[in-house]
Structure 1
């Protein structure tokens, strides 16, 4: 082999080696891009997974809260519907005179027992009475003012009459107590 031929072969080998090096660099570059793309995809999938986990946890908590509220407050409509019965039994007993009580003692006792039993059932299910007294301070969170009147010896905001009791269902207001309130500006 001639020297020129050897030089040509060396150049060809050098060029081929250089080409292989360039190809390897391109492959390495493509692999780096692929790795970066896979990392970005992994991070996105991890983020979506964490969000899905958080959504599932929030849904579980919301479901638990809704279930507890349904247990505690599911009977709200029934309790509200029973309040007029309670009020009417109270009014019936308040209207009884001594003469009627003497002549109908058994009937009056039956009404009293019925009222007491209704109160016990309501208490068992979380319904409790709000019973303001004359002289208490008006509380708009638990009382409904039905009228205002200036009454001597009272100050503004004092309860001067109680028309009906109010009721709470656990920690929620079922019905405010209906009261009359003093409008006096002097005590």
Structure 2
């Protein structure tokens, strides 16, 4: 997939896992300084199983002409951890995670393009719903996701953070 002449979007394979996990950890430290960064999230600990081997998983990386990572997005099987707030029933639900775009590349359409690539993959895989959550302290995040056709489900407090839960139905 090509975003611009000098930007490519690729699915991650085994050979890139360490580089991508290091990148995501760095971005998380910056965006979420309040988290314990010595504890790696489950998906990063089991990256290959989550994003490469699992049929519901994929992790996309945007690279510039110098092969630098300039953006990421992933999707993985939703684990139901918020069922005390809402329930999808028997619907197929995949979670969108780790949308990051380097500051220099923001407001140029790259984040929207990454989301569209993920929606296309979800449609090909017959995913019924894409779920994601964001936080009010991330500037413009809720508005961005609404522009991507995600609808608000509910807001809640999770691990001490106000969390906005959003979902979109995928047209096959």
TM-score (norm 2): 0.23
TM-score (norm 1): 0.22
Determine which structure has the larger helix proportion and give its number.
1
Of the two, which has the highest radius of gyration?
A: 1
